[in-house]
């Protein structure tokens, strides 16, 4: 079955510093991939998605992610973070095997904490 691994459970960073949140997925076949963001006490919001085409995907709030098929990775990056980026971030991929019916498998989450 498809699995998603987020390599860091917590990432502390200072304001205006760059950040990278790492995500690996298990399958090497073409997939579509997502990053979601969850602010405290809220639901998840779609940050960006990779469907096909350009491997560099831009999302909301200045985030971008690069799809790397050979390394089965989909790392999320931002060149300069703000305090307001403090949140938990989830990488997600479709469940493998047969018809997925849109089902997603989620990574364990990475808590990004931006310090002043």
Let me know: does 79 contact 64? Beta carbons within 8 Å: no
Q: Is 60 in the site for another protein (CB under 8 A)?
A: no
List 46, 56, 60, 83, residue binding another protein (CB under 8 A):
46
Q: Is 108 in the site for another protein (CB under 8 A)?
A: yes
Per the listing, tokens 């469907």 go with: 51
Q: Is 45 in the site for another protein (CB under 8 A)?
A: yes
**Element holding 98 (H helix, E strand):** none
| Least gap, CB of 85 to another protein (angstroms) | 19
Q: Cα separation of 104 and 93, whole Å? A: 5
List 40, 53, 98, 102, residue binding another protein (CB under 8 A):
102
How far from the centroid of its chain's Cα atoms is residue 84's Cα? Answer: 17
Q: Is 59 in the site for another protein (CB under 8 A)?
A: no
Sort strands 56-58 and 64-68 into parallel, antiparallel or unpaired. antiparallel
Closest CA to 32 of 96, 77, 80: 96
The residue among 7 and 15 lying less far from another protein, judged by its C-beta, is: 7
Please give the residue ranges that form the binding site for another protein (CB under 8 A): 4, 9, 32, 34, 36, 42-46, 49, 51, 90, 94, 100-109
């Amino acid at each position: 079955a498809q699995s998603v691994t987020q390599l860091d459970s917590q990432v502390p960073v200072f304001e205006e510093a760059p950040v990278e949140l790492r995500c690996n997925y298990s399958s090497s076949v073409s997939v579509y991939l997502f990053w979601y963001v969850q602010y405290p006490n809220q639901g998840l919001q779609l940050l960006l998605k990779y469907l096909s085409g350009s491997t560099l995907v831009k999302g909301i709030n200045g985030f971008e992610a690069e799809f790397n098929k050979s390394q089965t990775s989909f790392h999320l990056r931002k060149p300069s973070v703000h305090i307001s980026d403090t949140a938990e971030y989830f990488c997600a991929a479709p469940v493998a095997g047969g018809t997925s019916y849109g089902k997603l498998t989620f990574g364990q989450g990475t808590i990004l904490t931006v310090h002043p």
